[in-house]
Amino acid sequence: MSKELFPVIGLEVHLQLKTEKKMFCNCKNSFENKPNINICPVCTGQPGAMPLMNRQALRFAGEMANALNCKINMFMRFDRKNYFYPDCPKNYQITQHDFPLGYDGEFFFFSEKRQYRIKIQRVQMEEDSAKLNHIGDDLSAGSFIDYNRSGVPLLEIVTGPDFEDAEAACAYLEFLKRTAKYLEISDCSMEKGSLRVDTNISLTGQKGSLPGYKVEIKNLNSFIAVKNAIEYEMERQRGIINSGNSSSLCDETRLWDAANKKTLGMRKKETESDYRYFPEPDIPPLFIQDKNISELKESTKLTPFFAMNQLINTFKIEIGDAYVITAEKQFYEFFTETSKYTSQYKKIVNWLTGDVLFNLRKKGIDLSGSKLTPKELGGIIERIESGALTGKIVKELMPELIEGASVDKLVEKKGIKPISSGGELDSLIRGILKKHPEEVKAYRNGKTGLIGFFMGEVMKGTKGQAEPRRAKEALLKILENKEE
Amino acid sequence: MKKLTIDSFRGKSVDEIKKTIKKNISAADPKINAYLEAFDIDKFEQGKGLLANIPFAVKDNILIKGMISSCASRMLADYKAPYSAFVIEKLLSEGAMITGRTNMDEFAMGSSTENSAFMTTKNPLNEEYVPGGSSGGSAAAVASGMCAFALGSDTGGSVRQPAAFCGIYGYKPTYGVFSRRGLVAYCSSFDQIGVLANSIEDIAMVSSVMNDKDPYDLTSYLDRELKELGKIKYTDSVFKSGIIGVVNTFEGIPVSPEIEASYKKLVGELRKMNLEVVNISPPFLEYAIPLYYVLSAAEAASNLARFDGVKYAFNKRSASYQKLLMKTRGEGFGREVKRRIMLGTFVTSSGYKDEFYKKANRLRTNMKKSYDALFSNIDYMLLPTTPTPPFKLGEKIDDPVAMYYSDAFTTFANIIGIPALSIPYDTDPKGLPIGMQVLSNVKRDVDLLTFCANLVRKLK
Ligand SMILES: [Zn+2]
């Protein structure tokens, strides 16, 4: 009989910080162009070269650690991680082992369905490696080394082993990405490698206790890959345990094979790699001042977590909608700006996530390229509410509105006018009812389902220029009053 | 043999200076082997500045742009420096002239210059003897008139010990006085560039030019007093305010009778001069050597990891990265370098790190505290530079531990970062030089240089 097994999942994320310069030298932080153009003695490991300290990277890292509610080490130090690999020019990486910038954090985040919380073990700064470009698939043919990426600032964020399923892990990744993008510290592109994820997975028979093994999965190139790999790996391990072979599970690194949707054994970790960490002697320890920390804490930089809470609590937006609005900072900011002109918050959400987004996508631009102002959108929503405009009209005008046209001028120019005056609408409805005496009779005899039919006719008759809610009210009034 | 000072070149034309240097090098260097490469100084054009046309030699682990910088290793035999060390830039900006790059123990690991992959340098005072090391080439060049002064590097005594063996002055400043950018790292937390010269005035002059905060070396700093030190002030007042700590016994450290006799003679002279002399026992001195070899090897193993045959310099093309690494490092490094890399890897490995690396580091912290306390009671400390007079070529090369003890009195200054100056004081019965070392607390470099210059003048 198979017993219940609980997943133990932890994530290690590497974020490339989009600073102007590299972590320990003044080379440009840019590596998408020609190979080996942004290099110097420091980032190519020349003899005698010494590291600088990138203050901007420190600040970015501090902002992220703060958003993850980490404690900040007042005494901060860099360490050397010693290992030989051809992409590592000094054959040691400058990283933070004993005194990382941030530790003991707690990250609150949302999915479109619920709120989560995860422990953050550490947030540490380090340098990226060079990029190996293999000649062909066979490593023996040799590799080219591009040092443009060498020394690019990296932030490593390690969670506790506390995710219970792939869904939570992916929600974390999405929200972490949003947070870094809100703070404008990283591009967070898994495709380009500016966000990299390693996953640790194991199964335990007893909730809360860690099993004696840990499987690390590498080569995860998308959030979908993370989700699929976790789910595959959980099933694989479950199968092994249920077939009585749990002793064959050991610490190992596996590779995600996206094409065949499975993890492949890479190497067993018989002994833990010995990186012989020791303090980096070329960088004096940094003593972080109280005032630096209070500056961080008082930072007014917007985070998606704050934005979600605002939408849910202050604007009473449903979590799913709030999740869509907060996907991009500019969407959220557009929302809050628009909310100054109308209190129809739900309507703002609908317009933004509906027609505005649709038309922007169609044009291949994002919100920053749109000329529709929050004030204009707010005014439009208010006028729809008062019946001075209809949704249908606005829908049709939206392509021009995002080009910056004013709705009033468009309406005037095109001669579009909503049928809003009571008398006009009433006589229109009466005309329609006259054409369908049979249906009117049936309705009045209790076949109220016909209301849909009448509404259709009314909208057709008004060419959509009637505001539906008002049209329905008027229709009901006439039908119920038994007016002819 | 004529010893040259900066002043001896003042007022001479650049051509006259070139002629003197070329003459002295061709007369002495074929026997001494101080230079790995004597530069073609005819290419040098008239210099301008505080050190205009002053000829100086550079230890081969300090980079000079466009020139080979080999660290006396096969590994870097053909390595051309892509940039110049900060101190080189400083000296060149004041018009000084580089005479060449000098021989050394490979990667500055050694105390006799016998660990050079290329040649053995001889002591100019007696060619059967070593010039000391690791800056042996620089010391020999200064001592034999092949330059006015030379740069060396001092990680555990590598400037002071060869200075003592060659009868010249050797200065290791407070950690950070000279930028280490462009100095090929051996043990980054001990390494300091130092100056070897024939007078303390020259050392002061050169140091004031080289000192600055280098934005590219986070451990460097500007010593304003040193920067503005023009001429050393000669005044008896330095003696009135200076308390000198001396030792009665060299507990734990084997010292040869010649050295002990010289040391006692100097202490006696100080007392006769009515200087304030107090007895001290330097804390943890007997632990300095083991501590030094644990920590310096640990950092060396990491600093020398970059020499892998992938990027530059020596490489043995191989079918795999592993083979490339093993062949390149196996053939590129000499015996002593490999010994220290293995030692350093061992003392930082898990299972041994606590017992060796961490323990040594704790002791280092305690030493710093203890010496800081000691220096609150004294201004200067007097010790021999070396426990023995110069030894013969080949005498200690097969006994690494005996060789390591050449630095018994020098390493602790690097461990705690204090400045020290070796002064040529005496000669042993064979006529070989004996040096004495004066040390002071961190950042008291100008006091140290001023005190020593006054003392030397008084002793004459
Ligand atoms: Zn660089």
Segment B38-75, tens digit of pLDDT: 999 999 999 999 999 999 999 999 999 999 999 999 99
Q: Rounded to whole angstroms, how far apart are CA atoms B171 and B421? A: 4
Q: In this model, does residue A32 exceed pLDDT 90?
A: no
**pTM score, two decimals?**
0.91
pLDDT at residue A418, as a whole number: 65
Cβ-Cβ contacts under 8 Å for B344 (sequence gap 6 or more): B296, B297, B298, B299, B300, B301, B302
The bridge status of strand B192-197 relative to strand B149-154 is antiparallel
Contact B190/B414 with Cβ under 8 angstroms? yes
Report the DSSP pairing between strands B276-279 and B243-246.
Answer: parallel
Average pLDDT, chain B: 96
Q: Within its chain, how far is the Cα of A428 from the centroid? A: 49
Q: How far apart are CA A119 and CA A70, in angstroms?
A: 9
Pairing of strands A71-72, A75-76: unpaired
- Tally Cβ neighbours within 10 Å of residue A176: 27
State whether A90 and B308 contact (CB < 8 Å): no
> Residue A53: its chain B contacts at CB < 8 A?
218
User: Which residue type occupies A99?
Assistant: F
Look at residue B330 in the predicted model and tell me its pLDDT. 97
The pLDDT of residue A431: 84
Provide, for chain B, the percentages of residues in helix, strand and coil under a 3-state DSSP scheme, each rounded to the nearest 5: 40, 15, 45
Mean predicted confidence (pLDDT) in A208-217: 90
Backbone phi, then psi, for A63, in 5-degree steps? -65, -40
- Which of B73, B135, B138, B158 does the annotation list as catalytic? B158
A283 touches chain B (CB under 8 A): yes
**Contact residues on chain A for B81, CB-CB shorter than 8 A:** 48
CA A249/CA A257 separation, integer angstroms: 20
Interface test with A, best of B151, B348, B359, B364 (most A CBs within 10 A): B348
CB A212 within 8 A of CB A152: no
What pLDDT digit, counting tens, does each position of A82-104 carry? 999 999 999 999 999 999 999 99
Q: Are the CB atoms for B284 and B367 separated by under 8 Å?
A: yes
Residues 6+ apart with CB under 8 A from B349: A274, A276
Q: pLDDT band at residue A484, thresholds of 50, 70 and 90?
A: very low
> Is the pLDDT assigned to residue B149 strictly greater than 60?
yes
Query: Mean pLDDT over residues B220-231, rounded?
Result: 94
**What is the DSSP secondary-structure string of B108-124?**
G--SSSTT-SS----BT
Catalytic, B318? Answer: no
Q: How far is the CA of A150 from the centre of ligand 1 (A)?
A: 8
In the block, tokens 């092994």 appear at A240
Q: Percentage of residues in chain A with pLDDT exceeding 70?
A: 95
The answer, yes or no, to whether residue B326 has pLDDT greater than 50, is yes
Cβ contacts from A onto B, under 8 A: 91
Task: Tell me, in angstroms, the distance from the centre of ligand 1 to residue A452's CA.
Answer: 71
What are the structural domains of chain B? 6-229 (3.90.1300.10)
| Residue A43 confidence class, pLDDT cut points 50, 70, 90 | very high
> What is the rounded average pLDDT for all residues in chain A?
90
| Identity of the residue in B218, B306, B349 whose CB atom sits nearest the CB atom of A53 | B218
Indicate the DSSP class of residue B354: I
Residue pair B115/B404 in contact by the 8 Å Cβ criterion: no
Expressed in angstroms, the distance from the first to the final Cα of chain A is 75
Q: Do B299 and A281 touch (CB under 8 A)?
A: yes
CA distance A38 to A28: 6
Distance CA A217, CA B288 (A): 47
Confidence of residue A137 (pLDDT cuts 50, 70, 90): low
B369 is catalytic: no
By CB neighbour count within 10 A (0-12 exposed, 13-18 middle, 19+ buried), where does B80 fall? middle
Measured CA to CA, the distance from residue A224 to residue A230 in angstroms comes to 10
**Which uninterrupted H or E stretch holds A154?**
strand A153-159
Residues of B in contact with A52 (CB under 8 A): 215-216, 218
Residue B101 near chain A (CB below 8 Å): no
Asked whether residue B132 carries a pLDDT value surpassing 80, the answer given is yes
To the query of whether residue B302 is one of the catalytic residues in this protein, the response is no
User: How many other C-beta atoms are found inside a 10 Å radius of the C-beta of residue A395?
Assistant: 16
Rounded Cα gap, residues B11 and B14, in angstroms: 9
Structure token digits, residue B236: 């008896």
**Sign of the C-alpha dihedral computed for residues A157, A158, A159 and A164 taken in this order:** positive
Find where tokens 């308390």 sit: B243
What are the chain B neighbours of A44 within 8 Å (beta carbons)?
Answer: 311
Q: What is the mean pLDDT of residues B158-187?
A: 98
Per-residue pLDDT, A426: 81
Burial class (CB in 10 A: 0-12, 13-18, 19+), A143: middle
pLDDT bucket at A140, cuts 50 / 70 / 90: low
Which residues face A9 on adjacent strands?
A163, A201
CA separation for the pair A57, A335 (Å, rounded): 31
pLDDT of residue A271: 59
Query: Is the pLDDT at B1 greater than 80, yes or no?
Result: no
| C-alpha to C-alpha distance for A421 and A418, rounded to whole angstroms | 9
Q: Does B75 touch chain A (CB under 8 A)?
A: no
From B212's Cα to the closest Cα of chain A, the distance in A is: 16
B158 pLDDT above the threshold of 90: yes
CA–CA distance, B208 with B212 (Å, rounded to integer)? 8
Measure the CA–CA gap between B265 and B261, rounded to whole angstroms.
Answer: 6
User: What number is the average pLDDT over the span A184-200?
Assistant: 95
**Distance from B351 to chain A by nearest Cα, in Å?**
10
Contact by Cβ (8 Å): B256, B387: yes
CA gap B157, B152 in Å, rounded: 10
Any idea what DSSP says for residue A230?
H
Residues whose CB is less than 8 angstroms from the CB of residue A106 and which lie 6 or more positions away in sequence, other chains included = A68, A69, A117, A118, A119, A120
Element spanning A122, H or E: strand A115-127
pLDDT at A134: 82
Q: Tell me the one-letter amino acid at B61.
A: N
